[in-house]
């Protein structure tokens, strides 16, 4: 969430920057500033009335003590009127603050200066590519056919139990899935991240804290009776561990990792491009999250990008990195790099990670602050990345490592799997 003081100070600059997102902020900024002026003037009037009322209350006590009942009663009538005025002003202030907050929730983050303008994923900028795309033998299959051939993932059984988008992993498929999770976590902890086991449901405050609410409310599974939400990513519970915290500069950086299942409704997703593991309602993911001071957050982003690059290099999967354009940038992000692995059997790129810097956008929602060296309170910067999301990584392994003898296992995973081929 943007700070009102920053909107007032950088209004024209922010309007220009948000045009990269194809978002016209002119009118909404005027509404924000008008509501903030109303809030401040109402607060000032309320403070004056409360101060006058308190002063009169003390005078009334002294008058009664001195036997001046008539004067005391006159003042009591005045304080009664002031109480009515203060009640009206309090109600106006509450309504104004709520209107201002709700308006701020509709404004996306300011994109970093390096974000290219653009309307869709077609305008994203490729910044890096590595790995050789393997040449597969004739008759090579996409992963959903390989899963059936080797009986390692059962999509129909998942559909029977729950519905489409909830696959069942079996035998070596389940073991490969578990191996990936453990390896990703081990690599994260080796890099200095502290591992957490996290709740899979969060409350509404947590959803608002990281920006899933109200922006992505329709994409989250909602347990209505308890007003809880199934998490779309471990980013939500991890980052919300620090909600309402006041930290010290010496506490930074904070590095967290966690494995969770993730749940997404993916409403409106259909077609051949979402077959098999390409898009699921439930999937596994290892997440990395960082809290940083503002001056260090972009160096931290580079470090996270290098971490994900290292994972894909060790898996020996061909991949590329995209800098997302304004039109494809997530609501809360200032800068995002997407990683895509090449699916040889499908002849297309599949997104397998997003690494993002939110600057202080989430921290302002979370009220996550720290005391700097001058002992002044500042908002922290938050970052997160998938390291990695499993379905499309698994799809890439199955398709790119298929041979006539079976599906070979990447060398780094063999000790975790206990086998070197699925046959």
**Cα-based distances in Å from 61 to 49, 64, 77, 119, 235:** 18, 5, 14, 68, 56
Residue 396: how many CB atoms within 10 A of its CB? 26
Residue among 165, 277, 276 nearest 221 (CA): 165
Length of the chain: 423
d(CA 229, CA 221): 6
Residue 233, annotated as binding a ligand: yes
The verdict on whether residue 15 carries a ligand-binding annotation is no
How far is it, in rounded angstroms, from Cα 14 to Cα 26?
9
Alpha helices of 105-217 — where are they, by DSSP H? 143-149, 155-161, 171-190, 204-210
- 264 is known to lie in a ligand binding site: yes
- Which residue, among 311, 291, 310, 309, has the nearest Cα to 300 in the 3D structure? 291
Is 265 annotated in some ligand binding site?
A: yes
Give φ, ψ of 332 to 5 degrees: -95, -10
3-class DSSP state of 23:
coil
Beta strands in 62-190 (DSSP E): 125-130, 153-154, 168-169
CA distance 385 to 358: 11
421 is in an annotated binding site: no
Q: Is 59 annotated as a binding residue?
A: no
* E runs forming strands in 271-414: 282-292, 319-323, 335-343, 348-357, 369-371, 377-379, 381-389, 407-408
Distance CA 370, CA 357 (A): 18
Answer yes or no: is 354 a known binding residue. yes
Residue 320 is labelled as binding a ligand: no
Q: By CB neighbour count within 10 A (0-12 exposed, 13-18 middle, 19+ buried), where does 222 fall?
A: middle
User: Is 125 annotated as a binding-site member?
Assistant: no
Burial 9-41 (b: 16+ CB within 10 A, else e): eebeebbebbebbebebeebbeebeebbebbee
Selection from 234, 237, 231 nearest residue 287 by Cα:
234
Annotated binding site for L-serine: 233, 264, 287, 384
Binding-site residues, please? Answer: 233, 264-266, 287, 351-354, 384
Annotated binding site for ATP: 264-266, 351-354
């Amino acid at each position: 969430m943007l700070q009102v003081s920053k909107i007032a100070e950088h209004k024209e600059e922010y309007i220009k920057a948000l045009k990269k997102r194809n978002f016209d902020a002119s009118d909404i900024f005027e509404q924000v500033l008008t509501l903030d002026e109303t809030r401040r003037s109402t607060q000032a009037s309320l403070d004056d009335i409360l101060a006058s009322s308190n002063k009169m209350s003390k005078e009334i006590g002294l008058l009664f003590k001195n036997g001046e009942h008539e004067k005391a009663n006159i003042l009591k009538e005045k304080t009664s009127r002031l109480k009515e005025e203060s009640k009206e002003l309090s109600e106006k202030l509450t309504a104004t603050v709520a209107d201002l907050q709700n308006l701020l929730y509709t404004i996306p983050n300011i994109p970093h200066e390096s974000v290219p303008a653009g309307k869709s994923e077609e305008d994203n900028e490729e910044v890096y590519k590595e790995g050789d795309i393997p040449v597969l033998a004739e008759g090579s299959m996409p992963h959903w056919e390989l899963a059936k051939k080797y009986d390692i993932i059962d999509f129909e059984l998942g559909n029977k139990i729950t519905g489409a988008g909830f696959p069942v992993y079996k035998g070596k498929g389940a073991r490969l899935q578990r191996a990936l999770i453990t390896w990703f976590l081990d690599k994260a902890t080796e890099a200095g991240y502290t591992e957490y086991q996290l709740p899979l449901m969060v409350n509404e405050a947590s959803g608002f804290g990281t920006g899933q609410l109200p922006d992505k409310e329709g994409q989250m599974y909602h347990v209505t009776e308890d007003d809880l939400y199934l998490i779309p990513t471990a980013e939500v519970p991890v980052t919300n561990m620090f909600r309402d915290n006041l930290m010290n500069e010496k506490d930074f950086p904070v590095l967290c990792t966690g494995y969770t299942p993730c749940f997404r409704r993916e409403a409106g997703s259909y077609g051949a491009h979402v077959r098999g593991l390409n898009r699921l309602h439930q999937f596994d993911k290892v997440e990395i999250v960082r809290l940083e001071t503002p001056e260090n957050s972009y160096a931290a982003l580079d470090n996270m990008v290098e971490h994900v690059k290292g994972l894909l290099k060790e898996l020996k999967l061909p991949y590329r990195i995209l800098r997302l354009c304004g039109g494809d940038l997530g609501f809360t992000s200032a800068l995002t790099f997407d990683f895509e692995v090449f699916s040889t059997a499908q002849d297309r790129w599949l997104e397998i990670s997003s690494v993002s810097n939110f600057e202080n956008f989430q921290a302002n929602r979370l009220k996550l602050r720290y005391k700097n060296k001058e002992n002044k309170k500042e908002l922290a910067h938050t970052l997160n990345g998938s390291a990695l999301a499993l379905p499309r990584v698994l799809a890439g392994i199955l398709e790119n490592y298929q041979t006539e003898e079976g599906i070979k296992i990447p060398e780094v995973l063999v000790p975790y799997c206990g086998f070197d081929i699925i046959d």
